[in-house]
Structure 1
Amino acid sequence: MVARGVRYEDAHREFEKRYIAGALARAGGSVGKAAELLGLHRNTLSRKVAEYRLRRT
């Protein structure tokens, strides 16, 4: 990604977005269950879901 000129911050955000989306899918859209899978507090994950405009379904 460095060779393509992608900044670290952008790559990190994209990874986090995909990682959270995957956990939400595994949890059937449940933020609480996804937070448990990721080892995050539910409120933290809810904030990130809103920040990345992810669907909970």
Structure 2
Amino acid sequence: MKEKFEDLVDHLVGNGFFLEEVVELLEKTLIERTLKRTGGNRSAASKLLGIHRNTLQRKMVEYHLDPRKARRKPVRGESRQRKHAATA
């Protein structure tokens, strides 16, 4: 992983990326993936990220992130399977 990271840094430096751009891209991506992993649960995501829930909320506004898009969508037929399992 360290080697991949160093390659990425070399690429970014070689192509003139500014630190602020890189930090924003990394932060936004980490927040998006963590929200997806937690099904859009902001409290759980903030704990995994090690930031306060209000900070997460502020960054979501800053990066125009919608937690509803991160929620897990049920697999086709899943709700019927649950109902059937509950009545069995």
TM-score range, shorter chain: over 0.9
Q: TM-score, normalised by structure 2?
A: 0.62
Q: TM-score, normalised by structure 1?
A: 0.93
The reply on whether 1:31 has 2:42 as its aligned counterpart is yes
Q: Give the Cα–Cα distance (whole angstroms) in 2 for the partners of residues 2 and 39 of structure 1.
A: 28
Quote the residue 2:55 is aligned against: 44
> How large is the RMSD of aligned CA atoms in angstroms?
0.8
User: Which structure is higher in helix share?
Assistant: 2
> RCO (CA 8 Å, sep 6+): is it higher in 1 or 2?
1
- Greater radius of gyration (CA): 2
Q: Mind listing any 5+ residue stretches in structure 2 that lack a counterpart?
A: 1-11, 71-88
Match of 1:2 among 9, 13, 27: 13
Q: Mind listing any 5+ residue stretches in structure 1 that lack a counterpart?
A: none
- Percent identical among aligned pairs is 42
Q: Give the Cα–Cα distance (whole angstroms) in 1 for the partners of residues 64 and 13 of structure 2.
A: 26
Quote the residue 1:15 is aligned against: 26
